[in-house]
Amino acid sequence: MAKHAAAYVLAALCLLLVLAATDAEATQTHQPLVPAMFVFGDSTVDVGNNNNLRRSIAKANFRPYGIDFPRSTPTGRFSNGFNTADLLAQLLGFPMSPPAYLSLTGGTLRSQMYKGINFASGGSGLADETGRLLFGQVIPMSLQLDYFASVVEHMTKQSGSRRTASLLCKSIFFISTGSNDMFQYSISRSAPGNDYAFLRGFVAAYKSYITALYKLGARKFSLVSVPALGCIPSQRLRRLNETGTQGCYDPLNDLSLRSYPMLAAMLQELAHELPGMSYSLGDSFAMVSFVFTNPRTKDWNFKVLVAACCGGGPFGAAYPCDKSAPLCGDRDEYLFWDANHPTQAASAIAAQTLFAGDRTFVNPINVKELALL
């Protein structure tokens, strides 16, 4: 709490793509559009933090994960290649996502903190208990926030509060979280629960973390709403097992769909309450729905929308993605890499849409507009 209190003083100082256009801009950009990018969330944006958690089974530091990453290296990303944080970072002018916080030593931390750090953890969520039962050990959002507070403290000691506040208020804070909270709620309730009460708590928790980041110096927030969770391979298998029918798992999709307007309203309200706060909210449900409706366009060509590229059994979700798992030939033709995560190709669509998409998918502005404020 002392770190947070000290940082409050600091705070006072301070899917329709345009692929060709954004690619050209990225190529021509010599300097990133923002000084730093800080990443928070779950496995959709984890770049290796879980590699350093001894008691976690939520890891992707083994083949065939990373098969399409440079040098075919499994880094801890839950993807065949880059994830959404990497690809959004590239559009902002960085080589890829900033490195995982737990991979940094004292010296590398001191130099990296001015360029950004990734605090995300596979299996984590907004609630402290999310992921623990299933994965053993994760870094919940509260601890990710504590880690960031420690970084702000280091920056302030090294560079002073004015320089630190100046850097943070210009940086992008990218957050992709909430799916695991919905998974856990959906699995744990033995009888029909109060979905509205859950969603209110979900949005309240989200609000508390954004407010805490704001007090630590953050001003520009890029957030991704929860996607159509019921349509990922693991949940298609769940529906098949529970009902004997095929299709998306509707209860999870309903939660995802209902969460978006509540999250949007909260952010709009919060932006009025917090001077200088700006945000870009990506409607992930709308993005995924658009791809399902339009699997083939001039920019992408998905031939398999319901099964995982890596995995076995129905939908490629009955057996895990590991060295013995069947692997598809052309990953770019698959929407899903494993039972729960998108392919690099799907993440590229998400990143491009977040960066330069129109108001159909990103509100009230896109990330490029947010960066240029």
Report how far residue 18's alpha carbon sits from residue 355's, in angstroms, rounded to the nearest whole number: 10
For residue 116, what is the domain's CATH number? Answer: 3.40.50.1110
pLDDT in tens, the chain (373 residues): 444 444 433 444 454 433 333 443 433 447 999 999 999 999 999 999 999 999 999 999 999 999 999 999 999 999 999 999 999 999 999 999 999 999 999 889 999 999 999 999 999 999 999 999 999 999 999 999 999 999 999 999 999 999 999 999 999 999 999 999 999 999 886 556 789 999 999 999 999 999 999 999 999 999 999 999 999 999 999 999 999 999 999 999 999 999 999 999 999 999 999 999 999 999 999 999 999 999 999 999 999 999 999 999 999 999 999 999 999 999 999 999 999 999 999 999 999 999 999 999 999 999 999 999 9
Where helices occur in 192-316 by DSSP H, the ranges are 195-215, 233-243, 250-273, 284-293
User: Looking at the domain assignment, is residue 211 inside a domain?
Assistant: yes
Query: Is residue 42 within 8 Å of residue 13, measured between CB atoms?
Result: no
Type of residue at 214:
Y
Does 321 fall in a domain? no
Is-contact 185 197, C-beta < 8 A?
A: no
**Pairing verdict, β 278-282 and 304-308:** unpaired
Q: Decide if 224 contacts 21 (C-beta within 8 A).
A: no
Contacts of 130 (CB under 8 A, 6+ apart): 123, 124, 138, 140, 180, 181, 184
- 312 within some domain: no
**326 in a structural domain:** no
48 in a domain, yes or no?
Answer: yes
What is the reported pLDDT for 106?
A: 85
pLDDT for 190 equals: 53
Are 368 and 355 within 8 A, CB to CB?
Answer: yes
Strands 220-224 and 278-282: parallel
Name every residue whose Cβ is closer than 8 Å to that of residue 370 and which is 6 or more positions away in sequence: 172, 220, 222, 278, 279, 280
Do 233 and 339 contact (CB within 8 A), yes or no? yes
Whole-structure pTM value? 0.92
**Which residues lie across from 362 on neighbouring strands?**
282
Taking CA atoms, 210 is separated from 69, 98, 279, in Å, by 31, 20, 10
The domain of 91 spans 2-302+338-372
Asked whether residue 313 is domain-assigned, the answer is: no
- In-domain check, residue 323: no
* Cβ contacts of 45 within 8 Å, gap of 6 or more: 39, 83, 84, 85, 97, 118, 120, 174, 176
Q: Which residues contact 20 (CB under 8 A, 6 or more apart)?
A: none
> Which residue in this structure is represented by tokens 């590699």?
51
Maximum C-alpha span of the chain = 61
The secondary element (H helix, E strand) that includes residue 336 is: strand 334-336
Which pLDDT does position 107 carry in this prediction?
Answer: 87
Residue 228: what pLDDT?
97
Q: Tell me the C-alpha to C-alpha distance, in Å, between residue 234 and each of 15, 93, 138, 161, 181.
A: 24, 34, 20, 47, 16
Is 119 inside a domain boundary?
yes
* Residues labelled catalytic: 43, 338, 341
Q: Please count the structural domains in the chain.
A: 1
